[in-house]
């Protein structure tokens, strides 16, 4: 069941997105799944984790469940270490555990750049545990495939001409 988040990452890659996929699992039930949708939606906040969080919130609303209680018992499985923005959101939601594939050396919020998951940050939710390295090689290969191709959504280079 938990390898499904790698399928989400592959779908993201096929759709011209940075290949990140995730699942949010509450008591062995998948309540949310997501893939990056940044390029597709032209919205920089539509990371896989945010897409999945929205699905969990919708589930809570539809089922009349307390979202605080649900998130406190939900585990996130994600192909790449959550970025600083996503790590902050996960902390505010009191997610207890994040299992990720490879590190995010440029934007990681679980120790690679900042340690949002564990730092002493007042009034920002509960620190959460992170377990990295789950199928990391596969996550790295997906990222390499994406970055080898030219991103059609990237801004055009503004190289200066020599005078």
Whether 49 is catalytic is yes
Q: Are 26 and 8 in contact (CB under 8 A)?
A: no
- Residue of 29, 37, 40, 49 with catalytic role: 49
Q: Give how far Cα 132 sits from Cα of 2, 66, 78, 151, 158, Å.
A: 14, 29, 10, 27, 37
The C-alpha atoms of residue 3 and residue 8 are separated, in whole angstroms, by 9
The C-alpha atoms of residue 20 and residue 90 are separated, in whole angstroms, by 16
Q: Are 106 and 83 in contact (CB under 8 A)?
A: no
Active-site annotation, residues: 49
């Amino acid at each position: 069941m938990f390898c499904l988040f790698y399928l989400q990452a592959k779908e993201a890659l096929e759709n011209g997105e940075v290949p990140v996929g995730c699942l949010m699992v509450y008591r062995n039930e998948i309540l949310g799944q997501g893939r990056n949708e940044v390029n597709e939606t032209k919205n920089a906040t539509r990371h896989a984790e945010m897409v999945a969080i929205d699905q969990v919130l919708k589930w809570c609303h539809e089922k009349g469940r307390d979202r605080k209680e649900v998130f406190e018992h939900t585990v996130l499985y994600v192909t790449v270490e959550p970025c600083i923005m996503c790590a902050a959101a996960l902390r505010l939601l009191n997610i207890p555990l994040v299992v990720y594939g490879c590190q995010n050396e440029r934007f990681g919020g679980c120790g690679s750049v900042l340690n949002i998951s564990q730092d002493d940050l007042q009034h920002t939710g509960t620190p959460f545990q992170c377990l990295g390295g789950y199928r990391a090689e596969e996550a790295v290969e997906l990222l390499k495939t994406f970055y080898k191709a030219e991103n059609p959504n990237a801004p055009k280079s503004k190289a200066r001409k020599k005078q």
